[in-house]
């Protein structure tokens, strides 16, 4: 992996090179690591030589067909991956803000139109016309990928490429969750699920000055939560979590990063009256909340984040206020990585080094 601040790569010689990529030929089938063509650029695009590509649970959900609403949108012969960091090695003739050699990152939101109501209201992450990295266009499970220059963000030198990559999904999602919960200094919040997103939610909440209770079913992950500054931890498999929260009067906000419906069933009852439940993890089944128990609880959700959110996350990381815990792996191990993900054995984030 090229270290931050090291010499940038040369412009790629297209005529003599192909690239390695992990390709999804059909949903619910294993990815095929194979040779692929280096993509051609549009005038407003850049070609990125990938250094680090994070592996998100959303990648697994797309590959296993867990989100039927995306079925018709998924590109044929898709290269997944939406937590991508690398150097610009080529640029289209309309690109002005990025130079050859710039280190940039690309997240879930590949492109937004800028003209719809959502974009005009500062909600580009909800743009109905958006293109999605690693879903509707090819992503970063490859040695090269192309991106819209407008949505490829420069990365501060203080952050390594491996630690920066997950910030483009897990990081920005965590930040948006805290932002949507309107967390203020001194408030008590809870985080259900201490994984790739949850461990960042804890750190960002602490940066906002909140008191944090971490909930998980793994003692190892709860140990990590304490190391990251959680004020209290609870093991949902061995403790009566709801009773404990109710004795404490509930918390101002609960952020659920777990994709288990059982986590939501407990988390709802941990929220104090007029508090907020933030949906981050996406269970395959519907969630059910009793209207008689709402107590003016607000339920909101997170759809990744905007470029402004991403810049804020990168600044927090550059200032040393948050740090993504990563395990570095290789593209050829993608099947093992997904297998460990299915079993819930990944404590933070796996990043593939190209």
The architecture of the domain spanning 14-169+305-353 is Alpha-Beta Complex (3.90)
Task: Tally Cβ neighbours within 10 Å of residue 300.
Answer: 13
**DSSP conformation letters of 91-110:** E-TT--S--TT-EEEE-SEE
pLDDT in tens, 70-106: 777 889 899 999 999 999 999 999 999 999 999 999 9
The per-residue pLDDT of the chain, averaged, comes to 92
Q: If DSSP codes are grouped into helix, strand and coil, which group holds residue 8?
A: coil
φ/ψ (deg, to 5) at 307: -65, -35
Write out the two tokens for 43: 């005038």
Look at residues 173, 84, 80 and name the one whose alpha carbon lies nearest to residue 353. 84
The DSSP letter of residue 345 is -
**Alpha carbon distance 205, 181 (integer Å):** 10
**Alpha carbon distance 337, 81 (integer Å):** 13
The DSSP letter of residue 142 is B
Q: Give CA separation, 113 vs 89, 134, 150, 172, in Å.
A: 25, 18, 11, 20
Stretch 159-168: mean pLDDT, rounded? 97
**Is 3.40.50.150 the CATH classification of the domain at 171-301?**
no
Q: Give CA separation, 340 vs 142, 324, 345, in Å.
A: 21, 19, 5
Please state which of the ranges 67-81, 98-112, 305-319 shows the lowest mean pLDDT: 67-81
Name the residue with tokens 């952050």. Answer: 159
Q: Domain residues of the chain, as ranges?
A: 14-169+305-353, 171-301
pLDDT in tens, 9-51: 445 555 557 999 999 998 888 999 999 999 999 999 999 999 9
pLDDT in tens, 248-299: 999 999 999 998 899 999 999 999 999 999 999 988 788 888 887 889 999 9
pLDDT (0 to 100) of residue 288: 86
**DSSP conformation letters of 168-203:** GTHHHHHHHHHHHTT--TT-EEEEE--STTHHHHHH
Query: What confidence category does residue 69 fall into, taking pLDDT thresholds of 50, 70 and 90?
Result: confident
pLDDT (0 to 100) of residue 330: 96
- Give every CB contact of residue 61 below 8 A, 6+ residues apart in sequence: 67, 282
Number of Cα atoms under 13 Å in the Cβ half of residue 230: 25
Task: Tally Cβ neighbours within 10 Å of residue 283.
Answer: 16
pLDDT in tens, 193-251: 999 999 999 999 999 999 999 999 999 999 999 999 999 999 999 999 999 999 999 99
In whole angstroms, how large is the CA radius of gyration of the chain? 20
Look at residues 147, 115, 112 and name the one whose alpha carbon lies nearest to residue 129. 112
- Give every CB contact of residue 321 below 8 A, 6+ residues apart in sequence: 203, 207
Q: Is the dihedral of CA 314, 320, 324, 329 positive or negative?
A: positive
The DSSP letter of residue 216 is E
**Alpha carbon distance 82, 330 (integer Å):** 16
Are the C-beta atoms of 19 and 50 separated by less than 8 Å? no
pLDDT in tens, 167-196: 999 999 999 999 999 999 999 999 999 999
Stretch 125-141: mean pLDDT, rounded? 97
Query: What confidence category does residue 6 fall into, taking pLDDT thresholds of 50, 70 and 90?
Result: very low
φ/ψ (deg, to 5) at 153: -100, 140
Q: What percent of the chain has pLDDT over 70?
A: 95
């Amino acid at each position: 992996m090229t270290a931050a601040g090291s010499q940038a790569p040369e412009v790629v010689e297209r005529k003599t090179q192909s690239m390695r990529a992990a390709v999804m030929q059909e949903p619910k089938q294993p990815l095929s690591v194979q040779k692929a063509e280096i993509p051609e650029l549009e005038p407003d695009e850049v070609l990125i030589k990938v250094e680090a590509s994070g592996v998100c649970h959303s990648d697994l959900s797309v590959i296993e067909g867990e989100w039927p609403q995306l079925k018709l949108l998924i590109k044929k012969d898709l290269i997944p991956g939406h937590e991508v960091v690398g150097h610009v090695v080529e640029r289209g003739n309309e690109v002005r803000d990025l130079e050859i050699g710039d280190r940039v990152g690309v997240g879930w939101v590949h492109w937004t139109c800028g003209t719809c109501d959502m974009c005009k209201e500062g909600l580009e992450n909800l743009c109905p016309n958006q293109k999605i990295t690693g879903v509707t266009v090819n992503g970063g499970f490859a040695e090269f990928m192309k991106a819209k220059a407008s949505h490829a963000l420069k990365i501060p030198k203080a952050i390594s490429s491996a630690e920066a990559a997950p910030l483009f999904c897990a990081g920005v999602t965590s930040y948006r969750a805290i932002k949507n919960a309107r967390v203020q200094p001194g408030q008590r919040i809870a985080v259900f699920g201490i994984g790739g997103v949850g461990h960042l939610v804890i750190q960002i909440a602490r940066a906002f000055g909140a008191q944090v209770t971490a909930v998980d079913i793994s003692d190892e992950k709860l140990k990590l939560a304490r190391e990251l500054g959680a004020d209290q931890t609870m093991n949902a498999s061995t403790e009566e979590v709801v009773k404990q929260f109710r004795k404490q009067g509930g918390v101002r906000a609960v952020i659920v990063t777990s994709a288990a419906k059982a986590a939501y069933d407990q988390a709802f009852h941990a929220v104090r009256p007029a508090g907020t439940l933030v949906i981050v993890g996406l269970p395959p089944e519907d969630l059910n909340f009793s209207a008689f128990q709402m107590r003016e609880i607000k339920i909101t959700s997170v759809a990744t984040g905007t470029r402004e959110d991403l810049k804020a996350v990168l600044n927090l990381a550059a200032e040393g206020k948050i740090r993504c815990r990563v395990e570095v792996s290789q593209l050829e191990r993608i099947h093992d990585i997904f297998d460990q993900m299915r079993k819930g054995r990944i404590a933070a984030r796996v990043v593939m080094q190209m």
